[in-house]
Structures are given as C-alpha cells and as structure tokens.
Amino acid sequence: MKFENILEEVNGFGPFQIFILFLLWTPRIVLPCHFLLNIFIAAVPPHHCDISKLADGGLLENLTQEQRLSVSVPVKEDGGLKSCEMFAEPQFQLLANSSDTLHNTDMQIVQCQSGWVYDNSTFTSTLATEWDLVCDRKSLTKTTGTIFFFGVMMGAIAFGYLCDKYGRKNTLLASYIMAIVFGFSSAFANSYILFAGLRFLTGFGLTGISINSAVLTIEWVDTGHRSFIGVMGSLAWSVGNMLLAGFAFLVTDWRSLIMTVTAPLGFAVITWWWVPESARWLLANGKVESAQFYLDKCASFNKRPKLSSKIKLDVLSSVEIQEKQEKNYTYLDLIKTPKMRLLSLKAGIVWFGVALTYYGISLNISGFGLNMYLTHFIYAAIEVPAKLMIYFLLNIIGRRKCQAGTLLLTGFCIAINIFLPTGLWHVRAVVAILGKGLSEASFTTVFLYTTELYPTVIRQNGLGYVSFISRLGVSIAPLILLLEDVWTLLPQIIIGCMAIISGLVSLLLPETMNARLPEIIDDIEKPRKKEICSQTSESAGVVLESKSTTTETKE
C-alpha cells in the first residue's frame, strides 16, 4: 500500500489543499522581493565628483552651477559628465570653448578628491550612495548580491538536512523567524561589512521558505493535480516580482525598501499555526499517530469521512516506508547508488543552467529604452502567461519535453538577439521578453519535476542539493554580466550556451507524468514498469482489498 491510496480516501485535491496553497502564498511572494532586491537597493545613480570645496575657496564663487561643472569635470564623448574624474585645477578657458576638453590632452585629470554628488531624482538613497560604492569600488554593489546567494546556498544544504530530520513545519517556522530578524536587522546596518553579513544570514533563512513551501504543497496533493498546485503556487513568485517593481517605485530609500518587502513575513508567522505537517514525511519517519491526525483533518476539511476503523494505526503502519525508518538519510545517499548518482548529476546540471539563464536575463534590465521599474514589471508580467502555458503543456507533452523545450528555446532567443542589429530594438525587445518568459517556464517546470524525481525519504536532501547548485549559478550570473567589459556579446554567448546544454541534458531524465512519487531509494534503483504503477505489491493485496471493500460499504 502506498500513500496515494490513503490520500485518495481523504481526497487528494480539495479545499484542504487549496487552503495550504493559500497559507504559503504570502511567504512565497516575499522570495522574489528579496532575491531580486539588489536590482534596486544596489543601483548606481548618475554621479560626478564633488566640487563644493573648490567653490568654498572662492575660485568658482561667481559662476553658475553649470559653469562650475564645465570647468571642473571633464565630459565623455556623448557630452555627459565623467563619473570618476575631475580636473586637477579649474579650466576656465572651457567657458569659451567647452569642446576643448575632448581634444586637449594637456589638461591634468585626477580621481575625485572630495567624494561624489549623486542624482537623487530616481533614488533617495542606495547602497552606492550610502557608502560611495562607485568608481574603483563599484564591484562591491554586486558583491552584496553574491554574498546573499552564498547564504542561500548554505541554507540549501542546512535546511535540506533539517527538513528531512525534523519535519517541514518546524523548519518552516525557523525560516520565517530567521528571515524576519536578519531582514529587518540589515535595514539598520551602519557599515557595509555588517550589511553584507546580515544579507548572508537573510538568504540563509529564506532558503527554508523556498524549499518547504514547494514540498508541502506537492506532498499533500494527488498525482493528477500535482502540476496544477505546482504552477498555481509558483504564481506567487510572479506576483511578488511585479509587486517588487511597485514597492521600489514608491519606496526609494533602500532601508525602507528592505523593511517593506520583509514585513509580510509577520503575517506568515501568524498563519503558520494552520499549516499542516507533511503526512508523507510523518509516515516515512514512523510518526503514525501524527500522520493520522493530519489525514483526519484533511478528510474533515474536504468533507470526506475519516479513515475507517479498519484503516487505523495497523494499516497506516503498512504504509510506512519499507526501509527502516530510524535510518538517518544524508546527502551521501544522493550518490551512494548508481542510478541516484546519475540522477543527481543530471539534475544538478539542469538546475545550474535554469538558474544561470533566469537570473542572467532578470538582472540585465537595461536596453529597452524604458525606465528600470517598467522594464522589471514587464519582465515579471510575462511570467504569468508563461506559467499558465506550461501548466497545460505539463500534462500534455510531459515534464521532460517541457523542461528541455523551454531551455532550448530560451537559448535560441538569446542567440537571435546576438545576431540582431541594435537598430531593431523593437524586435530585440520582443525576443528578450519571450526569452524571459521561457526561462521562467523552465524554472516552474524544474521545481515540480525535481520533487517528482527524488524519493520521499531523501526528497528534501535532493531539493537542498539542487537548490545549492542553482544558487551557485545565480551567484555566478552577476559576474558573467561583468564580462561585458571584455566583449559586449560574451555574457549572452555564455548564458545562451548554458541554456542549450542544460536543455539537452534534461532529455536524459526520466519522465514522471502520471507516475507515482518514489518513496524509497529502491524505487529509483529498481523502478516498476509504468503500466503497474497504480498497483501495489502482492504482499499489500489483502490490505488494498480491505480498503476497497470498506469504501464500497461507506458509499
């Protein structure tokens, strides 16, 4: 007897499952707000050298502000002021002919001596303006994002183990508390080093929310509705992504913005009391009485009769995993056996490619001719139709073809934009938006796909592992974008190639559409044929017959 048989008794898709989805929507909305927060809090506004000390000395006292800048700061070829350089001495001759600054090489130019003046028309303050992270320190703005995702990587390892050891619900609460405490603390950081450390810990805590929310919704739903619940749950990411554009537009101070996007977790803590523990996990760990409590609650919520007298603790015990429940599973179990080892390798490559592609596109929001808020909103909005499209395709062509197709098409969209001339910016924008939607579709698919690939006893460890790999890809994405200084097209070539390679690797993964979730490692090493997936082993025949008879009697 398998868990699906009992889930069928209490209704594997009803108000109870929708209620769980609703409870976990709020924390899932917070995730993109933090994961993509660096786009706004680390933005570098236009700036130039501070020349106020020259004016204080009386040298520029009788000049207008525009004239002061023209004699103190050199200009670029496009006519804008240089951001990191100034003249060693005021060049008053430029008042007569300002074009001399482009041709006269005798003017001595030095780095900014007294700090910078920032354009505050878009942002009241950012990390760059707070700690002068510009010019030779500009890489430190992107470093905060990398440090955040290092925290996410470490959290993936820790929570993958803790969730399988202590349960989904308890670690979910720990994730909420960590994210709230360190999220709000980072908004009050008074130094760059302290801020970076707190962002690391915030990322660590948020990972538990990411892993647990996805698994809890999937483990409570029947096979036929897994894709629906998976896609509907992931819509929270798109909603949060769009809200981030609105929050950032309305709240232009980086400290206030961090507090704004962290605050909804307070509501999540309140609703945590109603989140049920995974009955699959409870049964897999021999906690039969607790499993029956939640299954009875599910039956009551879905207006189904509670598990009958014959299906009591003794029958529920027959559902527990066939391997000894006291065994402690670790990440080593992902590579101990041949097929698990190969599965983990292929899943890791796919996740790395999916994450690198998605964030490589998401973090590059320039080039549309639109302001950054509208660009980010468009990138987020395209995710909604992409998710709805993938929902219908998942149950038509299967998980494997969806995963491979979305990744390969994303790579092709990037390749098309490499060869399109910059003058066709309308066409390039449409192709880029299409590529963004496809990359999101690949992310939606891989979340559902992975939960179906790994067996119950090590599912959290498996998700922790692939989450670690994906965050490695995310951490590398900003560094790849910096290669634009070496060759403009190099970042696009790298990201496009990775999308295509990971898409091809996904074709080597097994199809899981309408397949029963694996529960033990032997289900991977010695899989049953698809045509008998709905059946149980011969030894469970009597139990199933008993269950069927009981159901008919009730009806």
pLDDT 10s digits, 510-541: 999 888 888 888 888 876 554 334 433 333 33
| pTM for this prediction | 0.81
Count of domains for the chain: 3
- Tell me if 89 sits within 8 A of 76, measured CB to CB: no
Query: Mean pLDDT throughout 437-443?
Result: 92
User: What digits encode the pLDDT tens for the residues 379-429?
Assistant: 899 999 998 888 889 889 999 999 999 999 999 999 998 888 877 778 888
Task: Pick the most confident of 219-223, 341-345, 429-433.
Answer: 341-345
- Within 10 Å of residue 133's Cβ, how many Cβ atoms? 21
End-to-end C-alpha distance for the chain, whole angstroms? 21
Instruction: Write out the residue range of the structural domain in which residue 517 sits.
Output: 329-524
pLDDT of residue 100: 56
Which of 102-116, 138-152, 234-248 is predicted least confidently?
102-116
How does residue 369 score in pLDDT terms, banded at 50, 70 and 90? low
How does residue 230 score in pLDDT terms, banded at 50, 70 and 90? confident
- Quick one: 483 and 363 in the same domain? yes
Residue 287 belongs to some domain of the structure? yes
- Quick one: 295 and 333 in the same domain? no
- Tell me if 125 sits within 8 A of 47, measured CB to CB: no
- Quick one: 91 and 112 in the same domain? yes
- Quick one: 353 and 269 in the same domain? no
Residue 548 belongs to some domain of the structure? no
Average pLDDT, the chain: 83
How does residue 20 score in pLDDT terms, banded at 50, 70 and 90? very high
Q: How far apart are CA 531 and CA 527, in angstroms?
A: 11
- Quick one: 403 and 289 in the same domain? no
- Quick one: 279 and 161 in the same domain? yes
- Quick one: 382 and 308 in the same domain? no
Which CATH number does the domain housing residue 496 bear? 1.20.1250.20
pLDDT of residue 85: 84
User: What digits encode the pLDDT tens for the residues 301-336?
Assistant: 988 887 764 455 455 555 555 544 445 688 899 999
- Quick one: 270 and 416 in the same domain? no
- Quick one: 365 and 442 in the same domain? yes
Within 167-191, residue ranges assigned H as helices are 168-186
User: What digits encode the pLDDT tens for the residues 36-90?
Assistant: 999 999 988 888 888 877 665 566 667 777 888 888 888 877 677 888 888 877 7
Q: How far apart are CA 203 and CA 225, in angstroms?
A: 31
User: What digits encode the pLDDT tens for the residues 170-203?
Assistant: 999 999 999 999 999 999 999 999 999 999 999 9
Residue 393 belongs to some domain of the structure? yes
- Quick one: 431 and 306 in the same domain? no
Strand partners, 118: 47
Which strand (E) or helix (H) includes residue 343?
helix 338-362
Task: Pick the most confident of 215-219, 221-225, 342-346, 486-490.
Answer: 342-346
Which strand (E) or helix (H) includes residue 25?
helix 25-35
Greater confidence (473 vs 107) lies with: 473
Backbone angles phi, psi at 117, to 5 degrees: -115, 130
The residue with tokens 């979340």 is 447
